[in-house]
């Protein structure tokens, strides 16, 4: 642990563009050093903010005073055994992907920020284009508790029931709901590993993970469908998501603002350099990802999609299709929208949390939620993952987007929706989550935090103060 | 109009290197269509749409290259031909171009051949120009814009932009034109079922296997090795004051520059020091500003390669020889410069220029011919080589010449990730293009000795060419300051602008700052930006991706400042400094 100095100012920020404060900085190189830092901080009552590569979009890695504990220098290791990748949490996603690629393997989940650490992806509950969360594939986890002790969790060994969970030889008692509306609140039957994924560095630190890998599918396709209206795009999406479930692994809708943001960023985002102009007068777009080993089956599914597209009013000439390695040109459109949004913020020097929020919400029919959000958003954009109802939205230059989103979230929760875990709650969404939590949910949060982090060194900055 | 588009299947870059060992792992690399060949298809499609006719995609490669051809069909090609035969394997650029030329003859009545400018694997950029020369057609390379009516092309060359009206049949080589189209879903699905022709040796007019493949190839790859990452100095964690002191010393004391190791003559000790055993020749180039720097670099290179064992010659082709340019030629220190002046040679045109160079080469019979790896040199050399049935090693960064005139040529490939040693064992002369800034231009002490001899050369008609304008491509200064992602705050750019101004340096950046929209692409260093070869490069907050590093290979000295002492760039830097870029720059300006 060294005292913070301005030479280290980069540790104060992450990709949410929020800025925090730190008194101490530590960048341990070994697990031993890391555990020592944890113990020292707990003894001295110093708050800890865990940091991976600080690429998070919700501000979870932004320190709030205390210690900024960076994991990126931790010794990295990777090994594949029986189809499982055993990796240290400090390994960057890009490094892991290259390592897997060499053996023609892939993760089932496909988060897209290559600089992010595996630990950070796990902790934020990250997902990518496809619906699968990264954490769901983790089979084994070596976890450092805020006290400096470690815990080995294996999938299937510990689950929540209605009264809590039994771990480290003690029972954590709390009224576990049947369904969880926030990451941080467990639900009945939830595996401990899934619960810890999405805990945002509040309950400890992922040190090593064992995660499933899969042979790269023989065929993969990315297809963009451009439509003249949002109504057409939504009707196509609704039909498509019902139709080709076997191969369709992702289906996203981009609203008009998302498309124009991408168009506008063409000159400055290198990922867009090889992408032609969107077909003229397209108002919305759907981006589909299909994969599988059965070539004929996929081709059939795609012909089916094309028919549905025409029925929804689309014209064949307004499609883009790319296969295999070429598909990697189109698939990042979703990731690029996030990057474009960040660039937009930088250009306008909008760094305050109040003007930018990401929400992930789904309720009832995702299409309905998407429409509702469209009605209430004046400036900003929406993209929607149709298959699992995740909506990503960015709000720009609004007076009080927080209020707007809160209003929307209330409505979503009232209709049975929940905060999807990807991106984590971070700081951007935590206050809203706490405001919206029921007494039962708060009781759960408290009990679990008390058990994992009795000294409140990792969670203090987070929920505790607010609860 | 019958248009042939040449497309090559290349290994996709993303799977090239093992980040730990730095070795290539080809087996797992997926294949893809060469990126610029998408632009070639796009260009072909635009022309086809306006002028009508037929577009044929042509590729030489293994059976798996059918995928690439199917993609070309999905993009609009009506017909696709794969040249695949055991006899074709192992072809170098000259023989690849020969094989393609045979196919084009077999197709018949072709009006226009569109190629990509270069590939991402072999990256010689020679096939289009060699192909044109072997077909006896004009060529126009480095095309960045296509005018459809009348059909004309705009290219960017050293310091100029030129436009040529089409003179069919001809070959064009396109660079990045507007982002190429992406196939529609219907077209992709339909292309899967379209017939595709596979041609072998017997389908070509020249049926003798001795003209094809490795055995006919003048150049041979002797050895390939991964670019080594060798840590030069351990990162220096010195504290602010000491760091700033060192940096200021570097910025202000030019004597500290380390001259690069330049070309090496081999087997020199055995040489008896007497008779010259032949000659070596450089193709010299000038633009509106005078003699190009690469010409001076090549002259110095020839002098140090020959070490008195070979006569050193230059050839200059142009429309006139103003006195200042003549003085520059005389100052090169070569034994003789052959000058061919003709009104036709106002603007570079590969076909007639290569014919003029050919006349000089035939008269002189040199063991080695060098050209600059400029747009002009990279077009001239393969065209010249095609006339002489010899090979060209592209874009060399290292050369050595033995007593018997054998040239060992070293060049980067795969975007700089690997180096290849190349020999031209049989064919003569050995032709190479040399990378700008890879060798130093030395002041010559022998200026009075240089003779100038004039010659005339018969040549084909020139293309209807016109210069659209000169541009000062603002050559990077001797000192370049580059900043990267470590810069978190856009406002801090002004700090580095001030520092650059104070140190009389060019301010450039890495890709991420262009992506953030903070800098214009023209200031980007790296594979997708510019290569720089300053005497001193100081980087701030740049981690050193392979792409960035490939653009700074020519830098003579590298001082790098990074907060992260594990940043790869610190492994390469001559002076690796650990510290906060902003703080150091601030203090540097104060002092
Ligand atoms: C352009 C862009 C696009 C993105 N797109 C997506 C997307 O499509 N879907 C998606 O889900 N996410 C997306 N992300 C966000 C991505 O999930 C995060 O970047 C990533 O999860 C954070 O990893 P990191 O190592 O940078 O963690 P940090 O940002 O450093 O930390 C994130 C949180 O995790 C905690 N943490 C970090 N490491 C550990 C650890 N080892 N143990 C416990 N806690 C830890 C931190 O305390 C913090 O709360 C995107 C990000 C960017 C910049
Ligand atoms: C490491 C390495 C170094 C090499 N160095 C040299 C060298 O210095 N000199 C040399 O002569 N050879 C060299 N070769 C061999 C050379 O790469 C191959 O001979 C290749 O066929 C020549 O093409 P290129 O990739 O350089 O093409 P380029 O000349 O860069 O290609 C330009 C365009 O020509 C067309 N084209 C090229 N190849 C084909 C094809 N097979 N089918 C259809 N169209 C095509 C495409 O439109 C392409 O965009 C080297 C090979 C390797 C692996």
A156 phi, psi to nearest 5 deg? 95, -15
Indicate whether residue A117 lines ligand 1 (CB < 6 A): yes
From B517, B494, B516, select the one nearest B507 (Cα to Cα).
Answer: B494
Which tens digits make up the pLDDT trace of B48-107? 999 999 999 999 999 999 999 999 999 999 999 999 999 999 999 999 999 999 999 999
CATH of A219-419, one of 1.10.1060.10, 3.40.50.80, 3.10.180.10, 3.40.462.40: 3.40.462.40
Q: Is the pLDDT of residue B39 over 90?
A: yes
Indicate whether residue A339 lines ligand 1 (CB < 6 A): yes
Mutate to test the interface with A, among B17, B39, B179, B182 (most CBs of A within 10 A): B182
- A347 and B183: CB-CB below 8 Å? no
- Alpha helices (runs of H) in B108-209, residue ranges in sequence order: 127-135, 185-191
- If you average pLDDT over each of A390-394, A447-451, B469-473, B477-481, which comes out highest? A447-451
Q: Is the pLDDT of residue B22 over 70?
A: no
Numbered ranges of CATH 3.40.462.40 in chain A:
219-419
Indicate whether residue A164 lines ligand 1 (CB < 6 A): no
Contacts of A269 in chain B (CB under 8 A): 515
Give the chain B residue nearest A343 (alpha carbons): B516
pTM of the complete model: 0.87
- The token duo for A269 is 């985002």
**A37 Cβ contact list (under 8 Å, min separation 6):** A1, A26, A28, A67, A69
A208 phi, psi to nearest 5 deg? -135, 145
pLDDT recorded at residue B476: 62
Which tens digits make up the pLDDT trace of A250-282? 999 999 989 998 998 887 777 787 789 999 989
* Closest ligand to the CA of B65: 2
pLDDT recorded at residue A73: 84
pLDDT recorded at residue A10: 78
Give the chain A residue nearest B187 (alpha carbons): A321
The CATH class, in words, for A78-215 is alpha beta
Work out the pLDDT band at A342, boundaries 50, 70, 90.
confident
Whether B528 has its CB under 8 Å from any CB of chain A: the answer is yes
pLDDT recorded at residue B243: 83
**CB neighbours (10 Å) of residue A218?**
12
What is the fold of B225-260+472-590? Rossmann fold (3.40.50)
pLDDT recorded at residue B556: 79
Work out the pLDDT band at A421, boundaries 50, 70, 90.
low
Indicate whether residue A57 lines ligand 1 (CB < 6 A): yes
User: CA-to-CA distance for B349 and B343, rounded, in angstroms?
Assistant: 12
Residue range B364-373: mean pLDDT, rounded: 96
CA angle B415, B418, B419 (to 5 degrees): 110
* Closest ligand to the CA of A90: 1
Residue range A114-142: mean pLDDT, rounded: 93
CATH of A2-70, one of 3.30.70.2740, 3.10.20.740, 3.40.190.10, 3.30.43.10: 3.30.43.10
Contacts of B25 in chain A (CB under 8 A): 102
B116 CA: nearest ligand 2 atom: 49
- A273 and B179: CB-CB below 8 Å? yes
Out of B232-241, B280-289, B334-343, pick the least confident: B232-241
Q: How many whole angstroms from B265 Cα to the centroid of ligand 2?
A: 28
DSSP strands (E only) in B125-207: 139-148, 151-157, 160-165, 170-174, 197-199
Mean pLDDT value across chain B? 87
Q: Is the pLDDT of residue A380 over 80?
A: no
- Long-range pairs, B76-80, Cβ under 8 A, ≥24: B76/B41, B76/B44, B76/B45, B76/B48, B76/B181, B76/B187, B77/B5, B77/B41, B77/B44, B78/B54, B79/B54, B79/B55, B79/B197, B80/B56, B80/B194, B80/B196, B80/B197
Work out the pLDDT band at B258, boundaries 50, 70, 90.
very low
DSSP strands (E only) in B307-438: 311-318, 336-341, 368-372, 392-396, 398-401, 407-413, 418-423, 430-434
B115 CA: nearest ligand 2 atom: 47
Contact A37, A44 (CB under 8 A): no
pLDDT recorded at residue B261: 37
- A349 and B490: CB-CB below 8 Å? yes
Numbered ranges of CATH 3.30.43.10 in chain A:
2-70
Å between A267 CA and nearest CA of chain B: 8
- Which residues share a beta bridge with A390? A385
How high is the ipTM of this complex? 0.89
* Closest ligand to the CA of A58: 1
- A276 and B180: CB-CB below 8 Å? yes
**Distance in Å from the first CA to the final CA of chain A:** 29
pLDDT recorded at residue B277: 66
Indicate whether residue A338 lines ligand 1 (CB < 6 A): yes
Contact A16, A426 (CB under 8 A): yes
Indicate whether residue A128 lines ligand 1 (CB < 6 A): yes
- Coil/strand/helix, residue B233: coil
- B189 and A270: CB-CB below 8 Å? no
User: CA-to-CA distance for A340 and A19, rounded, in angstroms?
Assistant: 20
Numbered ranges of CATH 3.40.50.620 in chain B:
2-217, 279-467
Contacts of A332 in chain B (CB under 8 A): none
From B65, B13, B77, select the one nearest B41 (Cα to Cα).
Answer: B77
Q: How many whole angstroms from B507 Cα to the centroid of ligand 1?
A: 32
Q: How many whole angstroms from A126 Cα to the centroid of ligand 1?
A: 7
Numbered ranges of CATH 3.30.465.10 in chain A:
78-215
Which tens digits make up the pLDDT trace of A177-233? 998 888 888 999 999 999 999 899 999 999 999 999 999 999 999 999 999 999 999
Q: Specify the higher pLDDT residue, B21 or B531.
A: B531
User: Half-sphere exposure (CA, 13 Å, Cβ side) for B444?
Assistant: 24
Q: Is the pLDDT of residue B228 over 60?
A: no
Whether B460 has its CB under 8 Å from any CB of chain A: the answer is no
- Which residues share a beta bridge with B467? B162
A89 CA: nearest ligand 1 atom: 41
Out of B120-129, B444-453, B493-502, pick the least confident: B444-453
A118 CA: nearest ligand 1 atom: 25
CA angle A344, A347, A351 (to 5 degrees): 80
Out of A396-400, B416-420, B471-475, B512-516, pick the least confident: A396-400
- B583 and A325: CB-CB below 8 Å? no
From A92, A89, A134, select the one nearest A116 (Cα to Cα).
Answer: A92
**Between residues 391 and 420 of chain B, which touch chain A (CB distance below 8 Å)?**
none
Which tens digits make up the pLDDT trace of A392-420? 766 654 556 566 666 767 776 777 666 66
Quickly list DSSP for A8-45.
GGGGGB-TT--B-B-SEEE--SSHHHHHHHHHHHHHHT
The CATH architecture of the domain made up of B2-217 is: 3-Layer(aba) Sandwich (3.40)
Which tens digits make up the pLDDT trace of B177-213? 888 999 999 999 999 999 999 999 999 999 999 999 9
Q: Is the pLDDT of residue B132 over 50?
A: yes
Whether B563 has its CB under 8 Å from any CB of chain A: the answer is yes
Work out the pLDDT band at A351, boundaries 50, 70, 90.
very low
Task: Say yes or no: domain B279-467 is CATH 3.40.50.620.
Answer: yes
Which tens digits make up the pLDDT trace of B208-227? 999 999 999 999 988 887 76
**Between residues 166 and 195 of chain B, which touch chain A (CB distance below 8 Å)?**
178-189, 192
Indicate whether residue A121 lines ligand 1 (CB < 6 A): yes
A117 CA: nearest ligand 1 atom: 25
User: CA-to-CA distance for A194 and A173, rounded, in angstroms?
Assistant: 18
From B116, B115, B85, B86, select the one nearest B101 (Cα to Cα).
Answer: B115
Mutate to test the interface with B, among A270, A280, A302, A308 (most CBs of B within 10 A): A270
pLDDT recorded at residue B473: 58
Contacts of B32 in chain A (CB under 8 A): 324-326
Sign of CA dihedral A253, A256, A260, A261: negative
């Amino acid at each position: 642990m060294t005292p913070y100095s301005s030479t280290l100012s980069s540790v104060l920020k992450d990709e949410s563009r929020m800025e925090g404060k730190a008194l101490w900085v530590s960048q341990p190189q070994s697990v031993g050093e890391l555990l020592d830092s944890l113990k020292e901080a707990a003894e001295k009552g110093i708050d800890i903010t865990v940091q991976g590569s600080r690429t998070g979009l919700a501000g979870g890695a932004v320190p709030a005073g205390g210690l900024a504990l960076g994991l990126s220098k931790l010794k990295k290791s990777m090994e594949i055994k029986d189809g499982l990748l055993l990796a240290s949490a400090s390994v960057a996603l890009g490094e892991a992907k290259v390592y897997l690629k060499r053996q023609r393997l892939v993760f089932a989940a496909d988060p897209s920020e290559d600089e992010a650490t595996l630990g950070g992806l796990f902790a934020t509950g990250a997902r990518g284009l496809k619906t699968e969360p990264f954490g769901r594939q983790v089979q084994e986890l070596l976890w450092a508790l805020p006290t400096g002790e470690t815990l080995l969790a294996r999938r299937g060994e510990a689950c929540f029931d209605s009264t809590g969970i039994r771990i480290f030889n003690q029972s954590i008692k709390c009224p576990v709901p049947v369904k969880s509306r926030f990451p941080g609140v467990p639900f009945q039957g939830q595996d401990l590993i899934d619960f810890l994924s999405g805990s945002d560095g509040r309950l400890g630190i992922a040190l090593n993970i064992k995660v499933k890998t899969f042979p790269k599918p023989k065929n993969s396709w990315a297809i963009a469908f451009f439509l003249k209206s949002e109504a057409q795009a939504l009707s196509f999406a609704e039909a498509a998501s019902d139709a080709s479930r076997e191969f369709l692994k992702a289906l996203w809708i981009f609203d008009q603002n998302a498309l124009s943001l991408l168009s506008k960023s063409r000159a400055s985002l290198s990922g867009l350099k090889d992408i032609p102009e969107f077909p003229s007068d397209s108002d919305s777009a759907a981006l589909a990802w299909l994969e599988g080993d059965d070539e004929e089956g996929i081709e059939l599914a795609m012909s089916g999609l094309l028919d549905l597209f025409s029925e929804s009013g689309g014209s064949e000439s307004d499609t883009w299709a790319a296969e295999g390695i070429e598909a990697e040109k189109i698939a990042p459109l979703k990731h690029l929208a996030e990057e474009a949004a960040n660039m937009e913020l930088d250009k306008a020097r909008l760094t305050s949390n109040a003007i930018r929020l990401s929400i992930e919400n789904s309720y009832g029919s995702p299409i309905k939620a998407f429409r509702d959000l469209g009605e209430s958003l004046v400036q900003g954009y929406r993209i929607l993952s149709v298959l699992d109802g995740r909506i990503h939205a960015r709000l720009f230059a609004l007076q009080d987007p927080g209020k707007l989103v809160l209003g929307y979230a209330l409505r979503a929760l009232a209709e049975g929706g929940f905060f999807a875990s990807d991106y984590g709650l971070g700081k951007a969404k935590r206050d809203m989550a706490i405001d919206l939590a029921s007494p039962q949910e708060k009781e759960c949060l408290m009990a679990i935090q008390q058990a994992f982090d009795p000294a409140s060194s990792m969670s203090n900055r987070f929920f505790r103060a607010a609860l | 109009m019958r248009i042939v588009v040449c497309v090559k299947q290349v290994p996709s870059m993303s799977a090239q290197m093992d980040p730990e060992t730095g070795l290539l792992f080809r087996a797992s690399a997926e294949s893809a269509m060469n990126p610029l060949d998408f632009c070639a298809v796009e260009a072909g499609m635009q022309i086809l749409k306006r002028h009508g006719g037929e577009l044929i995609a042509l590729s030489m490669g293994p059976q798996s290259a059918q995928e690439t051809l199917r993609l070309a069909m999905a993009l609009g090609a009506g017909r696709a031909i794969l040249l695949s035969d055991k006899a074709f394997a192992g072809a170098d650029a000259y023989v690849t171009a020969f094989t393609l030329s045979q196919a084009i003859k077999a197709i018949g009545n072709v009006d226009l051949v569109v190629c990509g400018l270069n590939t991402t694997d072999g990256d010689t950029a020679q096939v289009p120009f060699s192909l044109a020369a072997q077909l006896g057609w004009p060529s126009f390379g480095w095309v960045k814009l296509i005018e459809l009516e009348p059909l004309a092309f705009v290219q960017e060359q050293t310091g100029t932009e030129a436009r040529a009206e089409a003179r069919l049949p001809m070959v064009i080589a396109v660079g990045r034109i507007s982002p190429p189209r992406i196939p529609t879903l219907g077209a992709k699905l339909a292309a899967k079922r379209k017939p595709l022709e596979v041609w072998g040796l017997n389908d070509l007019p020249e049926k003798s296997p001795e003209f094809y493949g490795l055995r006919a190839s003048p150049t041979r790859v002797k050895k390939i090795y991964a670019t080594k990452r060798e840590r030069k100095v351990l990162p220096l964690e010195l504290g602010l004051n000491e760091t700033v002191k060192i940096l200021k010393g570097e910025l202000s004391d030019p004597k500290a520059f380390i001259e690069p190791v330049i070309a090496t003559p081999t087997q020199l000790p055995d040489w008896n020091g007497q008779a010259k055993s032949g000659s070596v020749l450089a193709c010299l180039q000038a633009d509106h500003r005078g003699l190009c720097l690469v010409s001076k670099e090549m002259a110095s290179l020839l002098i140090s390669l020959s070490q008195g064992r070979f006569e050193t010659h230059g050839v200059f082709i142009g429309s006139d020889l103003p006195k200042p340019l003549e003085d520059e030629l005389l100052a090169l220190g070569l034994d003789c410069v052959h000058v061919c002046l003709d009104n036709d040679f106002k603007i570079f045109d590969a076909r007639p220029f290569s014919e003029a160079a050919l006349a000089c080469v035939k008269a002189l019979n040199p063991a080695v011919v060098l050209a600059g790896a400029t747009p002009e040199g990279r077009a001239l050399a393969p065209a010249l080589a095609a006339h002489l049935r010899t090979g060209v090693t592209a874009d060399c960064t290292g050369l050595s010449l033995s007593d018997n005139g054998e040239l060992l040529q070293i060049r980067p490939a795969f975007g700089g990730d690997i180096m290849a040693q190349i020999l031209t064992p049989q064919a003569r002369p050995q032709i190479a293009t040399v990378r700008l800034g890879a060798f130093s231009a030395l002041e010559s002490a022998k200026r009075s000795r240089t003779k100038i001899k004039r010659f005339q050369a018969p040549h084909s008609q020139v293309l209807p060419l016109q210069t659209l304008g000169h541009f000062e491509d603002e050559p990077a200064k001797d000192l370049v300051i580059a900043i990267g992602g470590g810069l978190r705050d856009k406002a801090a750019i002004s700090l580095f602008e001030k520092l650059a101004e104070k140190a009389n340096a060019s301010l450039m950046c890495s890709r991420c700052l262009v992506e953030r929209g903070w800098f214009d692409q023209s200031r980007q260093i790296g594979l997708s930006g510019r290569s720089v070869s300053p005497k001193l490069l100081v980087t701030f907050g740049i981690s050193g991706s392979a792409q960035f590093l490939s653009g700074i290979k020519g830098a003579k000295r590298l001082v790098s400042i990074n907060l992260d002492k594990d940043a790869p760039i610190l492994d390469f830097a001559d002076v690796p400094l650990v510290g906060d870029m902003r703080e150091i720059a601030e203090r540097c300006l104060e002092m």
